[in-house]
Amino acid sequence: MQKEASGKGSGPAPVLTVKNVSYWYGAKRALDDVSFEVYPGKVTALLGPNGAGKTTLFSLITRLFDAPTGRIEICGKAASEWGSRALGPLGVVFQQPTLDLDLTVKQNLRYFASLRGLARKEADERMLRALTALDMEERIHERVRSLNGGHRRRVEIARALLHSPKLLLLDEPTIGLDVPTRSAIVNHVHDLARTGNIGVLWATHLFDEVEPDDDLLVLDRGRIVARGVAKDVVAETGAKDLGGAFKLLIGGAAEEDVAA
């Protein structure tokens, strides 16, 4: 079940390339020879149960950890080749919230924009566009502490897009949110990938966040056990839906580890 994800051949160059990456926590191997690519204009869903290695992989891509083996390239360059600009093409929404609760939405976004070197006027224009697209423009002067979980996530997504990244990384961005809010964020990110030609790597354990035409990577115990267009992966397993295919691919999943 190791089909190649779509986008290879004469198409666009990948915005993210992971080659033969492994990682250990002491004697425990968290990632085992992981390789894949993410392409512009596409959402690549990284689907796996809790503990599969998704967050470890994101930590390596964002350089929170250094990969002891293999190579990670962003827009064709490894971190050593990018130098101080290594994270420039990246927009990131981590699983754990990272907004300053005592600042307003605008203050949070302005602070991030200044770290990215954006001039105040340009930053404010980009901020308004991003918040408007997420139906958050009316909350720009509210303190983050007063926002609910869904609104905070939308602010984090807006922040990740301020500097026009080539690659957007989302690590379980909808965790703890209600179904309508999750659906709105999923739809927005997919539309953003298509219209903005951004490559998206979306880590999740929720089947309904994966669209049939998404590129799909199934990660289990640190290994990629299936890859390809989501609907094709489902068809090849003979399952009736992604949930059934997932359980077949990882040899059966505990109820608490995955969600329909």
Q: What's the whole-model pTM score?
A: 0.86
* Residue range 181-195: mean pLDDT, rounded: 92
Residues 170, 214 within the same domain:
yes
Residues 170, 58 within the same domain:
yes
Q: Is residue 135 part of a domain?
A: yes
Q: 116: domain range?
A: 99-164
Residues 156, 206 within the same domain:
no
* Tokens describing residue 195: 């219209």
High-pLDDT (> 70) share of the chain, %: 90
Q: Is residue 39 part of a domain?
A: yes
CA 73 from centroid of its chain's CA atoms: 16
Q: Measuring CA to CA, which residue among 221, 255, 232, 254 is closest to residue 245?
A: 232
CATH of the domain at 175: 3.40.50.300
* Residue range 24-52: mean pLDDT, rounded: 94
Residues 210, 84 within the same domain:
yes
Residues 146, 189 within the same domain:
no
Q: Which residues pair with 44 in a beta bridge?
A: 201, 215
pLDDT in tens, 100-138: 999 999 999 999 999 888 999 999 999 999 999 889 999
Tell me whether residue 199 is exposed, middle or buried, using C-beta atoms within 10 angstroms of its C-beta: 0 to 12, 13 to 18, 19 or more: buried
Q: Is residue 211 part of a domain?
A: yes
The answer to whether residue 68 scores a pLDDT higher than 90 is no
Q: Among 5-9, 12-16, 151-155, 202-206, name the one with the lowest average pLDDT.
A: 5-9
Number of domain units in the chain: 2
The answer to whether residue 258 scores a pLDDT higher than 70 is no
Residue 254 has what pLDDT?
39
DSSP state of 205: S
Residues 172, 200 within the same domain:
yes
Residues 2, 80 within the same domain:
yes
Residues 149, 110 within the same domain:
yes
- 103 vs 55: CA distance, rounded Å: 27
What is the rounded (10 degree) CA torsion for 149, 39, 51, 212? 80
Give yes or no for a contact between 219 and 201, defined as CB atoms under 8 angstroms apart. Answer: no
